[in-house]
Amino acid sequence: MAGARILVFGGSLRTGSWSAKLAALAAKELALLDADVSLISLGDYPLPIYDGDLEAQKGVPENAKKLRAMMNAHGGIYIATPEYNASIPPLLKNTIDWVSRQGAGGEDPYKKCIFALGATSNGRFGGYRALIALRYVLELGLQAHVLPQQVALSHVAEAFDEAGSIKDQTVAKLLHGSLTRLISAVESDF
């Protein structure tokens, strides 16, 4: 029997991105927990900056439609975000905005899927402010169900070991707990 279907992605395309590394670790752990995991890069789905006039003239871009369909094919979504200026990066916000458009077709994944969040930052707050901003957009703006368990990985340049695991066992346990809860919520339709 296939496990819970979970989509995982990071909110940064930078080479060596810490959020991509956290997303990869989350995907690996989810697979070890018997989830059916899809790890993607937003770089494979380039989108123009959201513009209502562009949408009126040309409709929703195909990549937004593809992402929306992919999100709808999963019961859970794990997003790992970096922190940019105490908020989420423009790439992630732009992706969320395009996918939210009704013209993207299909069911609204923000109302269908269960979300779990993680953040990375070289600062001492570990991307916590980005988590607040992302939660605000998803919960208040889009009425998504976002699990309260989250991971804020601080001083991220020293946070991973050579195998890509989190060195701090307390934080590693928080990630494991968040992912276990995501699987449980997806399997029970929360």
Q: Which residue stretches of the chain have pLDDT < 50?
A: 1
Question: Residue 75: which of 31, 111, 119 has the closest Cα?
Answer: 111
- pLDDT reported for residue 171: 95
- pLDDT reported for residue 1: 46
pTM: 0.96
- pLDDT reported for residue 168: 94
140 with 132: CB under 8 angstroms?
A: no
Cα distance between residue 43 and residue 13, in whole Å: 6
- pLDDT reported for residue 3: 86
Domains in the chain, please, with CATH?
5-187 (3.40.50.360)
- pLDDT reported for residue 190: 61
- pLDDT reported for residue 2: 67
Q: 143 Cβ partners below 8 Å, 6+ apart?
A: 110, 111
